[in-house]
Amino acid sequence: MPIINFGGLLNFAEAMEKQDMEFYLSIASNPEMSDLSDLFQGFAKDGKKNIAHIQRTRRENITEMILEGITGFFRKPFVLEVKDDKEMGRAQILKYVDKMEARAIAYYTEGAKKIKALPEVSMALKVAGKKRMAHTQKLSGS
Amino acid sequence: MALPIMKNYINGEWVESNGTQIGNIKNPATAEQIAQVVFGTADDVEKAVQAARKAFVQWRETPPLTRARYLFRIKDALEENFEDIARTLTMEQGKIIDEARAEIRRMIENVEHATGVTTLMCGYTLEDIAKGIDCTGHRQPMGVFAGVAPYNFPGMVPWWFLPYAIVTGNTYVLKPSEQVPMTQTRIFECLDEVGLPDGVVNMVHGSKDVVNAILDHKDIQGVSFVGSTPTARYIYKRCGETGKRVQALGGAKNIVGIMPDAKLNEALPSLVTSFFGCSGQRCLAGSILAPVGEAADLVVDRFVATAKNIKVGDGLSDFTGMGPMASSAHLDRVLGYIEKGIKEGATLVLDGRDCKVEGYPEGYFVGPTIFDNVTPEMTIAKEEIFGPVVCVVRCKTLDEVIKLINTRDFANAACLYTDSGTAARKFKYKVLPSMVGINIGIAAPMSFFPFGGAGNSMFGDIKGHGQEIFHFFTDTKVVIERWF
């Protein structure tokens, strides 16, 4: 399905952050990942902040003067199947985490380009994406 | 399950009307009944006005900064319930959820602007107007004001007036549109949370009887109205007879000119939003597209191609680009205009009449509709259609566009797309409408600028919001002092 407008773009971002946050909360208490528990707790907290940031953007950065449609942007490449970490091994979990971060960064990068007509929204997406980039750096250092 | 019934809000309490006429509220995307409203009576208006009168005594003595603090609380309550209000709006009015969000945003912006009361309500002073005599102009609140709201912007429009009325020390009675009363009811639930003194704001649902009771009430100082031109004229006249202040905003027939030098790639998305945003049910919507000279063919072709791709559907879906008409009666009205356009000989290049939306067989949908080769004399080029129907009137020159604009009955908004400063300057200097867009298709003044048209689009002199609204809601008392 295409993402055709401001609300659709931010709603997808919110859903993505929620899905990721829930996964991070789950793996933070997974005994298999106990050595990385604090890291994932932190990622979940970032997710919560990103959700608030996206909701605020959706409320505050909308104007009917520039409520133009978005073209050529599709959900499919950014959809990630919801996984149950209890049915996954450590390696699988880490691989999935990498996938989550990569898709979030890609989504925010592409989304920021697609909504350039609303520069504050574009900026907000870049800010959210930056947080996810920091995750990948932390993961590679862990 | 029992349907919710909208109640009046009088003297800080939710109360039932003594009226007997019931209105059924329907979701325009599904035609499903979602609520009911009891139409109030003159008796309900009387109770609301008496509550507002009583509240005025102390409220006017409340320091302006304290009054502004109530608005900060109102803003917080509205932000907290933002998404829920927007969804309620879409459900009862039909506009897409992003449009509903934009509307609620604009509503809140008026609350924000009104908090500037301590600057914007200030009076002025001049010493020694004669030897030893000083003169001071004080802006004073006047008493009870009232507002009558339209169905197309049920959330925002009442808030072009209400926050300014109360922050300047007046009290208020609002009548929401009887067609879409749920949004304002939801908003008043937020107001109810912030602890405003009882009677400062009141709401009476209803139809013509309530409006007439407001217009005739001797204790109401002024009325703000937004709606159709015939009703605006009626309200203006009747308020004049009863000595009220009045700002009555009416209809529109907005023309969007496109010069051959316009940057079409950049302009196209905003052009499409101008004509089809809110399904054309807004007083700032483009109605006549006036491409100039050799650009016309290209403009029309690309405009039609883009309009074809607009997905019509339920406004609550993220995948919808345009919602339904707000009611079945209005759908019939719009379809009637399309028939009229065909009969009068315009070329129907995009036909939105047989608009089917999967899963919504009963919805009041009409798709984007475009007529080419429309002439200025045709009915569809003269009357307000208030729907997603575009009339293309091809013009040879900019002067022709300006003439077309200045010969319409309405003078609400006009826009021009051009890359020429000279053309833009001439356009904004010469057109009669008082909201002008240059490379903007929706020339919607924000809360800190006045909103309203000229000619038959506006009756009264002070427009909605902006700085001048503080004058509408205050009387300037002049004190001339001499001390021996």
What digits encode the pLDDT tens for the residues B109-122? 999 999 999 999 99
Q: Report the mean per-residue pLDDT for chain A.
A: 94
CB B183 within 8 A of CB B190: no
Separation CA B149–CA A92 (nearest Å) = 58
pLDDT above 90 (res B407): yes
pLDDT for residue B113: 98
CA distance B147 to chain A (A): 23
Separation CA A94–CA B194 (nearest Å) = 48
Separation CA B213–CA B43 (nearest Å) = 9
Task: Determine whether B278 is an active site residue.
Answer: no
Cβ-proximal residues to A92 (8 Å cutoff; 6+ apart), any chain: none
Question: Which residue, among A55, A67, A75, A121, would best test binding to B if mutated, counting the most B CBs under 10 Å from its CB?
Answer: A67
Q: Which two tokens stand for residue A12?
A: 């997808």
Separation CA B56–CA A52 (nearest Å) = 39
Q: Tally Cβ neighbours within 10 Å of residue B379.
A: 15
Q: Which two tokens stand for residue B448?
A: 């800190």
pLDDT above 90 (res A116): no
Separation CA B15–CA B462 (nearest Å) = 33
DSSP letters along A29-70, please?
A: T-GGGGGGHHHHHHHHHHHHHHHHHHHHHHHHS--GGG----
pLDDT digits over B437-465, tens only?
Answer: 999 999 999 999 999 999 999 999 999 99
Question: Which residue, among A5, A12, A64, would best test binding to B if mutated, counting the most B CBs under 10 Å from its CB?
Answer: A64
pLDDT for residue B134: 98
Question: Which residues of A lie closer than 8 Å to B, measured between beta carbons?
Answer: 1-8, 11-12, 55, 58-60, 62-69, 117
pLDDT for residue B327: 97
pLDDT digits over B82-108, tens only?
Answer: 999 999 999 999 999 999 999 999 999
Cβ–Cβ contact B98 with A under 8 A:
yes
Separation CA B377–CA B373 (nearest Å) = 12
The pTM score is: 0.94
A4 and B82: CB-CB below 8 Å?
no
Closest of B188, B180, B172, B173 to residue B150, by C-alpha: B180
Question: Model confidence at A140, in pLDDT bands (50, 70, 90)?
Answer: confident
Q: Residue A3: closest CA among chain B residues belongs to which residue? A: B319
Kindly list the residues from chain B whose CB atom is less than 8 angstroms away from the CB atom of residue A15: none
Q: Residue B103: closest CA among chain A residues belongs to which residue? A: A64
Comparing CB atoms, the residue among B83, B99, B321 nearest residue A69 is B321
B318 and A8: CB-CB below 8 Å?
yes
Separation CA B150–CA B48 (nearest Å) = 20
pLDDT digits over B225-279, tens only?
Answer: 999 999 999 999 999 999 999 999 999 999 999 999 999 999 999 999 999 999 9
Q: Mapping DSSP to helix (H, G, I), strand (E, B) and coil, where does residue B79 land?
A: helix
Angle at B108 between CA B56 and CA B466, to 5 degrees: 75
pLDDT for residue A1: 87
Cα–chain center distance at B424: 26
Is pLDDT larger for residue B18 or for residue B232? B232
Q: Tally Cβ neighbours within 10 Å of residue B86.
A: 29
Q: Which two tokens stand for residue A87?
A: 């049915």
CA distance A57 to chain B (A): 11
CB B305 within 8 A of CB B120: no
Kindly list the residues from chain A whose CB atom is less than 8 angstroms away from the CB atom of residue B99: 64, 67
B105 and A62: CB-CB below 8 Å?
yes
CA distance A19 to chain B (A): 19
Residues forming a β-bridge with B13: B10
Strands B474-482 and B286-291: unpaired
pLDDT for residue B369: 98
List the alpha helices (DSSP H) in B249-391: 264-276, 296-308, 328-343, 379-382
- Taking only residues 393 to 452 of chain B, the set having a beta carbon closer than 8 angstroms to any beta carbon of chain A reads 440, 442, 444
A63 and B319: CB-CB below 8 Å?
no
State the greatest distance between any 2 C-alpha atoms of chain B, in Å, as a whole number.
83
Work out the average pLDDT over A6-23. Answer: 96
CA distance B442 to chain A (A): 5
Q: Mapping DSSP to helix (H, G, I), strand (E, B) and coil, where does residue A12 land?
A: helix
Kindly list the residues from chain B whose CB atom is less than 8 angstroms away from the CB atom of residue A65: 440, 442, 444
pLDDT for residue B197: 98
Q: Mapping DSSP to helix (H, G, I), strand (E, B) and coil, where does residue B219 land?
A: coil
Comparing CB atoms, the residue among A8, A60, A64 nearest residue B444 is A64
For B337, phi and psi rounded to 5 degrees?
-65, -35
pLDDT digits over A46-97, tens only?
Answer: 999 999 999 999 999 988 777 788 889 999 999 999 999 999 999 999 999 9
Work out the average pLDDT over B281-294. Answer: 96
Kindly list the residues from chain B whose CB atom is less than 8 angstroms away from the CB atom of residue A13: none
Rg over alpha carbons for chain A, rounded to the nearest Å, is: 16
Question: Model confidence at B295, in pLDDT bands (50, 70, 90)?
Answer: confident
A6 and B98: CB-CB below 8 Å?
yes
Q: Residue A60: closest CA among chain B residues belongs to which residue? A: B105
Residues forming a β-bridge with B175: B148
Residue B166 burial by CB count (10 A; 0-12/13-18/19+): exposed, middle or buried? buried
pLDDT above 90 (res A141): no
pLDDT digits over B32-66, tens only?
Answer: 999 999 999 999 999 999 999 999 999 999 999 99
Domains in chain B, ordered, with CATH? 5-250+457-482 (3.40.605.10), 254-438 (3.40.309.10)
CA distance B134 to chain A (A): 46
Question: Model confidence at A103, in pLDDT bands (50, 70, 90)?
Answer: very high
pLDDT for residue B53: 98
List the alpha helices (DSSP H) in B195-318: 208-216, 229-241, 264-276, 296-308
pLDDT for residue A67: 77
Comparing CB atoms, the residue among A7, A60, A68 nearest residue B270 is A68
| Half-sphere CA count of A91, side-chain side, radius 13 A | 0
Separation CA A12–CA A6 (nearest Å) = 10
pLDDT digits over B315-330, tens only?
Answer: 999 999 999 999 999 9
CA distance B102 to chain A (A): 5
pLDDT for residue A117: 85
A5 and B105: CB-CB below 8 Å?
no
Separation CA B350–CA B346 (nearest Å) = 12
End-to-end CA gap in chain A: 36
Comparing CB atoms, the residue among B101, B103, B311 nearest residue A58 is B101
Q: Mapping DSSP to helix (H, G, I), strand (E, B) and coil, where does residue B439 land?
A: coil
Q: Which of B190, B283, B355, B395 is catalytic?
A: B283
pLDDT for residue A64: 76
Separation CA B344–CA B334 (nearest Å) = 15
CA distance B36 to chain A (A): 29
Angle at B99 between CA B95 and CA B105, to 5 degrees: 135
Work out the average pLDDT over B356-380. Answer: 98
B106 and A117: CB-CB below 8 Å?
no
ipTM of the prediction greater than 0.85, yes or no: no
CB B379 within 8 A of CB B406: no
CB B453 within 8 A of CB B249: yes
CB B215 within 8 A of CB B233: no
Kindly list the residues from chain A whose CB atom is less than 8 angstroms away from the CB atom of residue B439: none
Separation CA B288–CA B77 (nearest Å) = 40
Comparing CB atoms, the residue among A62, A63, A68 nearest residue B269 is A68
Residue B339 burial by CB count (10 A; 0-12/13-18/19+): exposed, middle or buried? exposed
pLDDT digits over B160-209, tens only?
Answer: 999 999 999 999 999 999 999 999 999 999 999 999 999 999 999 999 99
pLDDT above 90 (res B419): yes
Q: Please, what sign has the CA dihedral across residues B31, B35, B36, B37? A: negative
Provide, rounded to the nearest whole percent, the portion of chain B with pLDDT above 70. Answer: 100
Separation CA B319–CA B298 (nearest Å) = 28
Closest of B229, B161, B166 to residue B383, by C-alpha: B229
Kindly list the residues from chain A whose CB atom is less than 8 angstroms away from the CB atom of residue B75: none
Separation CA B229–CA B458 (nearest Å) = 8
